Structures are given as structure tokens and as C-alpha cells.
Amino acid sequence: MPTPVSNTRDRLVAAMIDALQRRGLHGVGLTEILQAAQAPKGVLYHHFPGGKAELAVAAIDQVIDGIDASLQRLLQRPGPALEGLRHWLTQAGQALQRSGFERGCPLAAVALESTPDDEAIRAALARGFALLRQRLAQVLQQAGVAPLRAPGLAALVVSAYEGALMQARVAGSAQPLQATSDSLMAILALEAQEGNR
């Protein structure tokens, strides 16, 4: 369920995020989103003249902001950066389990079903994934990974994370995410050791 918020615009965005996590962009209609947000149709177009697509972009941007904030906290966290990253990955699995394996990553869901006509949505996703790779590269460099290696490894982490979440969701088990996390952390630990030599 979306977090209760009083602002109508925020309720619409929260309802869209929830819908994207559970059903994807095309699996949910405006009527369902409006009901979840307890908002009349006219209010949607007041806040989002571009309709569902514009609302989806706002939802994607908010999800990215939340993930970015969590990664920035990771950068400021005391202790080894890789332990912080392991904790971050573990939290994703716990959130998926708490939802009964119903709510995956809204970014992956939208990315998979977007088409070339969804230009604004794809642009928002591209910006978002680029920011996540950049932040993860910073985390990896903080852990000791060589600066030239960090961007590629950050891309690997994002790809593995998204793929593992999908596998865990369809399996109804956190095992694929745990196995992926363990393998990633082993690779990253070796890279950090190499970078620190």
C-alpha cells in the first residue's frame, strides 16, 4: 500500500508507484490509480496534464530520488562500504518478502514494458539508472575499487540486482536475491583488495 499522504499530487504519485510495483505500467488503469489516491479525474489532469505517462514519469523520478537518498546514506555510513552495500541489497530482499513477493522494482517493470513511443518514460528511466550506476560507483570507490573499474562493476550490480529481484518475485523466494548478493559481494571484495594494493 502507498504510504498515507495528505497532498493530492503526492497521493497520485504514491498510488502510481504502488501500481507500477504490483502490476506494471500497462497492467493498471487510471480508474484504479484514482481510486487508490482518492482523487477525481480532473485533479489528475490538473497536476499531470500529460495524463498517465506524465504521472508515471513523476513516480519514476520519486523512486529514483528514494534509491539515490539511500545510496547517499550508504556513502556516509560508518564502517566498510561493502558491508553497507550488502545491507542495502539485503533490505531489498526483505522488502520483497514483506510484500508477499508482490512488489518488485517499479523501474524494471516499466522498463520491460515500455515501447519506443514512451519517450518521456524511457528518458526518465535512463536518467535514473545512470544516477544509480554513478552512486554505486562512488560506493565501490569508497570501498577501494579502482576508479577505472568502478563504473563497470556498478553497472553489473544494477543488472544483477534487477534480475535477481525479478527471479525472486516469480519464485516467491528470496533465494535468488541472496545467491546473487553473495556472489556480487565476493567479486566486489576481490576487486576492492586488488584496488587497495
pLDDT tens digits, 139-154: 999 999 999 999 999 9
| Closest among 152, 124, 151, 117 to 137, alpha carbons compared | 151
In a domain, 148, yes or no: yes
The single-letter code of the amino acid at 75 is L
Spatial distance between the Cα atoms of 157 and 162, rounded to a whole number of angstroms:
8
Does the residue 170 lie in any domain? Answer: yes
C-alpha cell at 99: 510484500
SS3 for 24? coil
Residue-wise pLDDT tens digits, 76-125:
888 788 998 998 888 888 888 998 988 888 888 889 888 899 999 999 99
- Work out how many domains the chain is built from and give that number: 1
Query: Does any domain span residue 5?
Result: no
Residue 1 has pLDDT above 60, yes or no: no
Residue 4 placed within a domain: no
Residue 3's pLDDT is what? 47
Average pLDDT over residues 178-182: 94
Answer yes or no: is pLDDT of 56 > 80.
Answer: yes
Rg of the chain over all Cα atoms, to the nearest angstrom = 18
Q: Give the residue carrying C-alpha cell 544494477.
A: 158
Give the domain CATH number at 99: 1.10.357.10
| CA gap 52, 9 in Å, rounded | 13
Q: Please report whether residue 50 resides in a domain.
A: no
- How much is the average pLDDT of 48-69? 93
- Tell me, yes or no, whether 111 lies in a domain: yes
Structural domain of residue 144, as residue ranges? 61-195
Asked, for residue 20, whether it belongs to a domain, the answer is no
8 in any annotated domain = no
